[in-house]
Amino acid sequence: MSNPSPGATFNRYVLVHESVSHWTAEMERLFAEHTEIIFRWRPYREELFDELHLASLILLVVAPDDDSLSLIQQLKSTQRSLPMACLIKQMSVEWEWLARELGADVILSETTEKWRVAHSLRRLLHVQTAAV
């Protein structure tokens, strides 16, 4: 087996769990210059868990409810070190506190500007870019 050449890039997958592909499409546009970062829309939990082993990052677009907390717990119990960001439909301090305790790294309102969401994802992916 040969070693990759210096400067070789590897694909990094961001799995996006949302009912429609709104945020997936927005992030694909904002990360267009980073061809090694691939956003994959996964609306169903089964698909999300099937591809979890490929992921460099998880983005959940969810309601602040017990079902979403359960999903975070299940994901983190499967892949503890995997970075996770959550966009929630309505901010809830109590839910945010519980989600952070379960392992969510970033929690933002779904109304956050798309460039701010992209900045948070870049930080989690450790991507170096020019100022946006």
| pLDDT for position 35 | 94
Residue 110 lies in a domain: yes
Q: Is the residue at 38 inside a domain?
A: yes
∠ Cα 13 17 21 (to 5°): 90
What was the pLDDT predicted at 91?
Answer: 86
- Is residue 111 in a domain? yes
CATH number, position 32: 3.40.50.2300
pLDDT in tens, 11-56: 999 999 999 999 999 999 999 999 999 999 999 999 999 999 999 9
- Per residue in 69-111, pLDDT (tens digit) is 999 999 999 999 999 999 999 889 999 999 999 999 999 999 9
What's the confidence (pLDDT) of residue 101?
A: 97
pLDDT band at 57 (very low <50, low <70, confident <90, very high): very high
4 in a structural domain: no
pLDDT of residue 7: 52
Region 111-121: what's the mean pLDDT? 97
Answer whether residue 128 shows pLDDT above 70: no
Domain extent, residue 67, equals: 18-125
Q: Is residue 26 part of a domain?
A: yes
- Band of pLDDT at residue 130, cut at 50, 70 and 90: very low
What angle is formed at CA 130 by the lines to CA 128 and CA 132, rounded to 5 degrees? Answer: 115
Residue 2 lies in a domain: no
Does residue 11 fall inside a structural domain? no
In a domain, 74, yes or no: yes
Query: How many domains is the chain partitioned into structurally?
Result: 1
